[in-house]
Amino acid sequence: MNKFFIYLLFFFLLISCSNNSKKNNLISKSIDYHKLNSFIQDSLPSLLILNENFDQIFNLWEEGVKTIESTSKIMSSDPRTLPFFLESLKLEVGKINDKQIPGKLNVPQVIGRFRVYKTQVLKINSNKIDLGNIQLFKKNLKKIAISYNALISMMNKIAKESLESNNNAETVEVK
């Protein structure tokens, strides 16, 4: 009977030690959010903004512009809340219909860059960020930033050209 209790005690001790080692493994395999924050601040390109001088053109596509501009919050958001932000961004970007871009922005250059941006946002898997896929997550985050900058740059360029052509047309009419 004594041997039975000794074996039973040894068995419980062995099980409790194995459970503690599993907990330690989980802690050591979690993401270092400080490093992720450093990556966001140091390695991502600085995000462009829309030129306020062209608001009259951008306001025609108000819902799309607001959603696209919200991407710039990646730089200021806490890395622990980044997955939630990206999931929200996915939902908002998914709602935008690229076939109904209004006004002067409805040109192939903007539509194409928006589709690339939308694809990058929808592609990122922010639900399961762990040590196994953190490098892929960082790579996809960088692609979002690059496609965002390309879209914003093209929108600014098209808006500027549109206003310049309107100004030129008004100057010709005055003469």
Residue 120, C-beta contacts closer than 8 angstroms, at least 6 positions apart: 140, 143, 144, 147
Contacts of 115 (CB under 8 A, 6+ apart): 98
The predicted model gives 99-121 an average pLDDT of 94
pLDDT interval class at 120 (50, 70, 90): very high
- Which is nearest to 33 in space by CA: 142, 129, 152? 129
**What proportion of the chain, given as a percentage, has pLDDT over 70?**
86
* pLDDT higher than 60, residue 27: no
- Interatomic CA distance for residues 50 and 13, integer angstroms: 63
Residue given tokens 């390109």 in the structure block: 45
Cα-to-chain-centroid distance, residue 15: 43
- DSSP letter assigned to residue 107: S
pTM of this prediction?
0.78
Q: What number of CA atoms fall less than 13 Å from residue 47's CA on the CB side?
A: 21
Residue 19 has pLDDT above 80, yes or no: no
At 48-84, the pLDDT tens digits run 999 999 999 999 999 999 999 999 999 888 999 998 9
For the chain, what is the mean pLDDT?
85
Cα separation, 112 vs 118, in Å, equals: 10
Rounded CA-CA distance 171/169 in Å is: 5
Total count of residues recorded for the chain: 175
Residue with tokens 């490093």: 35
CA distance 87 to 84: 5
pLDDT exceeds cutoff 80 at 99:
yes
